[in-house]
Homo-oligomer: A and B are copies of this chain.
Amino acid sequence: MVSPLETRLSQHLPLTFAERDALQWLERREQRFIAGKVIVREGEAYENLHIVASGWLHGSIRLHDGSRQILRFYFVGDLTTAFSIAWRHSAATLTAVSACTLYEMPRAALGRLFRDHPRLGALLYAVSASEHVATADRLASIGRTAGMYRVATFLLDIRSRLLVVDGLAGATFELPLTQQDLGDAVGLTKAHVNRSLKSLEATGLLEREGKIIRIKDVDALTKLVGFKDRHGHVAIDWLPPSANFGDIDHNETTVA
Protein backbone atom coordinates (compact mmCIF):
# COMPACT_ATOMS: atom_id res chain seq x y z
CA MET A 1 0.00 0.00 0.00
CA VAL A 2 2.89 2.36 -0.59
CA SER A 3 1.83 5.38 -2.55
CA PRO A 4 4.54 6.31 -5.07
CA LEU A 5 3.75 10.00 -5.29
CA GLU A 6 3.49 10.26 -1.54
CA THR A 7 6.82 8.53 -1.19
CA ARG A 8 8.39 10.90 -3.65
CA LEU A 9 7.05 14.05 -2.09
CA SER A 10 7.88 12.84 1.40
CA GLN A 11 11.52 12.91 0.43
CA HIS A 12 11.30 16.67 0.38
CA LEU A 13 8.96 17.38 3.23
CA PRO A 14 7.20 15.59 6.07
CA LEU A 15 3.57 15.39 5.00
CA THR A 16 0.52 15.68 7.20
CA PHE A 17 -2.01 12.93 7.42
CA ALA A 18 -4.49 14.95 5.40
CA GLU A 19 -1.94 15.56 2.69
CA ARG A 20 -1.00 11.94 2.44
CA ASP A 21 -4.62 10.97 2.32
CA ALA A 22 -5.24 13.40 -0.52
CA LEU A 23 -2.35 11.99 -2.51
CA GLN A 24 -3.62 8.46 -2.07
CA TRP A 25 -6.97 9.51 -3.42
CA LEU A 26 -5.26 10.34 -6.67
CA GLU A 27 -4.04 6.79 -7.01
CA ARG A 28 -7.14 4.70 -7.17
CA ARG A 29 -7.40 3.95 -10.85
CA GLU A 30 -4.63 1.58 -11.70
CA GLN A 31 -3.69 0.59 -15.24
CA ARG A 32 -1.05 -1.69 -16.67
CA PHE A 33 0.74 -1.37 -19.98
CA ILE A 34 3.13 -3.57 -21.87
CA ALA A 35 6.53 -2.40 -23.06
CA GLY A 36 6.29 -0.20 -26.12
CA LYS A 37 2.68 0.82 -25.60
CA VAL A 38 1.80 4.39 -26.48
CA ILE A 39 -0.31 5.69 -23.62
CA VAL A 40 -0.95 9.27 -24.66
CA ARG A 41 -0.29 10.62 -28.11
CA GLU A 42 1.00 14.10 -28.83
CA GLY A 43 -1.70 16.42 -30.06
CA GLU A 44 -4.61 14.29 -28.92
CA ALA A 45 -7.14 15.41 -26.36
CA TYR A 46 -6.51 13.75 -23.04
CA GLU A 47 -8.47 13.56 -19.82
CA ASN A 48 -6.04 12.13 -17.34
CA LEU A 49 -2.62 12.59 -15.90
CA HIS A 50 -0.59 9.58 -14.85
CA ILE A 51 1.45 8.76 -11.79
CA VAL A 52 4.04 6.04 -12.26
CA ALA A 53 3.68 3.10 -9.89
CA SER A 54 6.29 0.93 -11.58
CA GLY A 55 8.29 0.70 -14.79
CA TRP A 56 10.04 3.11 -17.14
CA LEU A 57 8.33 5.47 -19.57
CA HIS A 58 9.34 8.37 -21.70
CA GLY A 59 7.78 11.52 -23.05
CA SER A 60 8.67 12.60 -26.56
CA ILE A 61 7.71 15.03 -29.26
CA ARG A 62 7.89 14.57 -32.97
CA LEU A 63 9.51 17.10 -35.27
CA HIS A 64 8.50 18.43 -38.59
CA ASP A 65 10.91 16.12 -40.41
CA GLY A 66 9.61 13.02 -38.64
CA SER A 67 12.42 12.64 -36.17
CA ARG A 68 11.68 12.21 -32.49
CA GLN A 69 13.01 14.00 -29.46
CA ILE A 70 12.72 12.20 -26.15
CA LEU A 71 12.24 14.85 -23.50
CA ARG A 72 12.33 12.93 -20.28
CA PHE A 73 12.22 9.48 -18.77
CA TYR A 74 9.79 8.75 -15.99
CA PHE A 75 10.20 6.43 -13.04
CA VAL A 76 8.26 5.42 -9.93
CA GLY A 77 6.65 8.43 -8.29
CA ASP A 78 6.87 10.71 -11.31
CA LEU A 79 3.92 12.65 -12.56
CA THR A 80 4.24 12.03 -16.28
CA THR A 81 4.15 14.76 -18.92
CA ALA A 82 2.66 17.06 -16.29
CA PHE A 83 3.53 20.01 -18.50
CA SER A 84 0.66 19.08 -20.78
CA ILE A 85 -1.69 20.45 -18.13
CA ALA A 86 -1.43 23.81 -19.86
CA TRP A 87 -3.45 22.48 -22.78
CA ARG A 88 -6.37 20.21 -23.46
CA HIS A 89 -4.31 18.37 -26.03
CA SER A 90 -1.22 16.57 -24.94
CA ALA A 91 2.04 18.34 -25.67
CA ALA A 92 3.96 15.08 -25.88
CA THR A 93 3.66 11.37 -26.52
CA LEU A 94 3.91 9.12 -23.49
CA THR A 95 5.33 5.70 -24.21
CA ALA A 96 6.01 2.74 -21.95
CA VAL A 97 9.65 1.69 -22.18
CA SER A 98 9.19 -1.37 -20.03
CA ALA A 99 6.02 -2.98 -18.74
CA CYS A 100 4.59 -0.53 -16.27
CA THR A 101 1.79 0.28 -13.90
CA LEU A 102 0.23 3.73 -13.77
CA TYR A 103 -2.40 5.50 -11.75
CA GLU A 104 -4.81 7.49 -13.83
CA MET A 105 -5.95 10.78 -12.42
CA PRO A 106 -8.40 13.29 -13.90
CA ARG A 107 -6.94 16.68 -14.71
CA ALA A 108 -9.40 18.39 -12.41
CA ALA A 109 -8.11 16.34 -9.49
CA LEU A 110 -4.87 18.26 -9.73
CA GLY A 111 -6.84 21.49 -9.46
CA ARG A 112 -8.58 20.21 -6.36
CA LEU A 113 -5.24 19.30 -4.87
CA PHE A 114 -4.06 22.88 -5.31
CA ARG A 115 -7.21 24.12 -3.62
CA ASP A 116 -7.34 21.71 -0.70
CA HIS A 117 -3.62 21.41 -0.07
CA PRO A 118 -1.86 24.55 -1.20
CA ARG A 119 1.40 23.42 0.27
CA LEU A 120 1.36 20.36 -1.95
CA GLY A 121 0.55 22.58 -4.89
CA ALA A 122 3.56 24.69 -4.13
CA LEU A 123 5.70 21.60 -3.71
CA LEU A 124 4.55 20.29 -7.07
CA TYR A 125 5.46 23.66 -8.51
CA ALA A 126 8.97 23.27 -7.11
CA VAL A 127 9.31 19.71 -8.39
CA SER A 128 8.15 20.83 -11.80
CA ALA A 129 10.69 23.65 -11.63
CA SER A 130 13.49 21.20 -10.99
CA GLU A 131 12.39 19.17 -14.00
CA HIS A 132 12.37 22.31 -16.07
CA VAL A 133 15.95 23.04 -15.09
CA ALA A 134 16.93 19.48 -15.95
CA THR A 135 15.44 20.03 -19.41
CA ALA A 136 17.36 23.27 -19.64
CA ASP A 137 20.59 21.50 -18.75
CA ARG A 138 20.01 19.01 -21.50
CA LEU A 139 19.27 21.82 -23.89
CA ALA A 140 22.65 23.32 -23.10
CA SER A 141 24.36 19.97 -23.32
CA ILE A 142 22.88 19.20 -26.73
CA GLY A 143 23.52 22.64 -28.11
CA ARG A 144 27.11 22.91 -27.14
CA THR A 145 28.94 19.72 -26.43
CA ALA A 146 30.33 16.77 -28.37
CA GLY A 147 28.53 13.46 -28.63
CA MET A 148 30.56 11.63 -26.06
CA TYR A 149 29.79 14.27 -23.45
CA ARG A 150 26.10 14.29 -24.22
CA VAL A 151 25.86 10.56 -23.77
CA ALA A 152 27.86 10.64 -20.56
CA THR A 153 25.74 13.45 -19.16
CA PHE A 154 22.64 11.53 -20.02
CA LEU A 155 23.85 8.39 -18.30
CA LEU A 156 24.86 10.31 -15.19
CA ASP A 157 21.47 11.97 -15.13
CA ILE A 158 19.60 8.68 -15.37
CA ARG A 159 21.80 7.14 -12.73
CA SER A 160 21.19 10.06 -10.43
CA ARG A 161 17.44 9.78 -10.82
CA LEU A 162 17.46 6.05 -10.29
CA LEU A 163 19.35 6.64 -7.08
CA VAL A 164 16.57 8.84 -5.78
CA VAL A 165 13.89 6.47 -6.94
CA ASP A 166 15.36 3.08 -6.16
CA GLY A 167 17.90 4.00 -3.56
CA LEU A 168 20.40 1.90 -5.48
CA ALA A 169 23.77 2.50 -4.01
CA GLY A 170 25.93 1.62 -6.94
CA ALA A 171 27.04 2.98 -10.21
CA THR A 172 25.71 -0.03 -12.09
CA PHE A 173 22.26 -0.04 -13.59
CA GLU A 174 20.27 -1.48 -16.41
CA LEU A 175 19.42 0.80 -19.30
CA PRO A 176 16.49 -0.80 -21.14
CA LEU A 177 16.88 1.37 -24.21
CA THR A 178 18.00 0.79 -27.74
CA GLN A 179 20.79 2.99 -29.01
CA GLN A 180 18.18 4.54 -31.24
CA ASP A 181 16.20 5.61 -28.16
CA LEU A 182 19.33 6.95 -26.57
CA GLY A 183 20.05 8.92 -29.71
CA ASP A 184 16.56 10.37 -29.73
CA ALA A 185 17.17 11.55 -26.19
CA VAL A 186 20.55 13.18 -26.71
CA GLY A 187 20.17 14.29 -30.32
CA LEU A 188 22.47 11.87 -32.08
CA THR A 189 21.98 9.15 -34.66
CA LYS A 190 22.17 5.60 -33.45
CA ALA A 191 25.40 5.14 -35.35
CA HIS A 192 27.03 7.97 -33.52
CA VAL A 193 25.62 6.90 -30.18
CA ASN A 194 27.46 3.68 -30.69
CA ARG A 195 30.72 5.46 -31.45
CA SER A 196 30.23 7.75 -28.47
CA LEU A 197 29.71 4.79 -26.18
CA LYS A 198 32.86 3.20 -27.54
CA SER A 199 34.78 6.39 -26.90
CA LEU A 200 33.50 6.47 -23.36
CA GLU A 201 34.57 2.90 -22.80
CA ALA A 202 37.96 3.80 -24.19
CA THR A 203 38.39 6.36 -21.42
CA GLY A 204 38.03 3.55 -18.93
CA LEU A 205 35.34 5.41 -17.00
CA LEU A 206 32.49 3.29 -18.31
CA GLU A 207 31.79 -0.37 -18.96
CA ARG A 208 28.91 -2.05 -20.74
CA GLU A 209 27.58 -5.56 -20.78
CA GLY A 210 24.49 -5.72 -22.91
CA LYS A 211 22.01 -3.34 -21.33
CA ILE A 212 24.01 -3.10 -18.12
CA ILE A 213 25.91 0.13 -17.62
CA ARG A 214 28.67 0.39 -15.07
CA ILE A 215 30.17 3.78 -14.40
CA LYS A 216 33.55 2.97 -12.97
CA ASP A 217 34.33 6.35 -11.52
CA VAL A 218 31.26 8.50 -11.10
CA ASP A 219 33.12 11.47 -9.66
CA ALA A 220 35.72 11.50 -12.40
CA LEU A 221 33.10 11.24 -15.12
CA THR A 222 30.95 13.90 -13.47
CA LYS A 223 33.91 16.20 -13.40
CA LEU A 224 35.00 15.36 -16.93
CA VAL A 225 31.69 16.29 -18.50
CA GLY A 226 30.65 18.99 -16.03
CA PHE A 227 27.46 17.25 -14.99
CA LYS A 228 25.24 19.03 -12.49
CA ASP A 229 22.90 16.94 -10.43
CA ARG A 230 19.49 18.59 -10.16
CA HIS A 231 17.60 15.82 -8.44
CA GLY A 232 18.85 15.67 -4.90
CA HIS A 233 16.63 18.15 -3.17
CA VAL A 234 14.22 20.94 -3.78
CA ALA A 235 14.10 23.96 -1.53
CA ILE A 236 11.08 24.08 0.73
CA ASP A 237 11.91 27.12 2.81
CA TRP A 238 9.52 29.23 0.74
CA LEU A 239 6.50 26.96 1.11
CA PRO A 240 3.47 28.17 3.03
CA PRO A 241 2.67 26.49 6.36
CA SER A 242 0.89 23.21 5.98
CA ALA A 243 -2.65 24.55 6.27
CA ASN A 244 -5.15 27.10 7.41
CA PHE A 245 -6.09 24.71 10.21
CA GLY A 246 -2.82 24.37 12.01
CA ASP A 247 -4.29 22.69 15.08
CA ILE A 248 -5.82 19.84 13.16
CA ASP A 249 -2.55 19.40 11.38
CA HIS A 250 -0.71 19.12 14.59
CA ASN A 251 -3.00 16.40 15.80
CA GLU A 252 -2.84 14.48 12.63
CA THR A 253 0.88 14.55 12.22
CA THR A 254 1.33 13.25 15.73
CA VAL A 255 -1.24 10.56 15.10
CA ALA A 256 0.62 9.58 11.97
Query: Which A positions have Cβ atoms within 8 angstroms of B?
Result: 61, 63-65, 67, 69, 71, 82-88, 91-92, 107-108, 110-112, 114-115, 118-119, 121-122, 124-133, 135-145, 186-187, 225-226, 230, 233-235, 237-241, 244
List 10 tightest A-B contacts by C-beta distance, closest first. Answer: A64-B226, A143-B187, A115-B240, A69-B140, A107-B238, A114-B122, A83-B129, A86-B130, A86-B129, A86-B234
- Distance in angstroms between the alpha carbons of A113 and B133 in the assembled complex: 22
Asked if residues B142 and A143 are in contact (CB atoms below 8 Å), the reply is yes
Asked if residues A139 and B137 are in contact (CB atoms below 8 Å), the reply is no
Q: Which residues of B contact A71 (CB under 8 A)?
A: 136, 139-140
Asked if residues B63 and A144 are in contact (CB atoms below 8 Å), the reply is yes
The secondary structure that dominates the A interface is helix
- Distance in angstroms between the alpha carbons of A69 and B145 in the assembled complex: 11
Asked if residues A125 and B63 are in contact (CB atoms below 8 Å), the reply is no
Contact of A144 among B69, B126, B140 (CB under 8 A): B69
Contact of A108 among B64, B142, B226, B238 (CB under 8 A): B238
Of chain B, the residue at the smallest CB distance from A224 is B64
- Distance in angstroms between the alpha carbons of A114 and B239 in the assembled complex: 8
CB distance from A22 to the nearest CB of B (A): 13
Asked if residues B115 and A85 are in contact (CB atoms below 8 Å), the reply is no
Interface pairs (15), CB distance under 8 Å:
A61-B140, A63-B140, A65-B145, A67-B144, A69-B144, A83-B132, A86-B127, A111-B238, A111-B240, A115-B241, A118-B118, A128-B129, A135-B136, A138-B139, A139-B142
Please name 8 further chain A to chain B contacts, defined as beta carbons within 8 Å, in addition to the given A61-B136, A125-B128, A135-B136, sorted by A numbering: A63-B141, A84-B129, A85-B125, A85-B126, A86-B126, A88-B235, A118-B118, A132-B132
Q: Which residues of B contact A111 (CB under 8 A)?
A: 122, 238-240
Question: Given the known A-B contacts A142-B187, A240-B115, are A132 and B122 also in contact in the complex, defined by CB atoms under 8 Å?
Answer: no
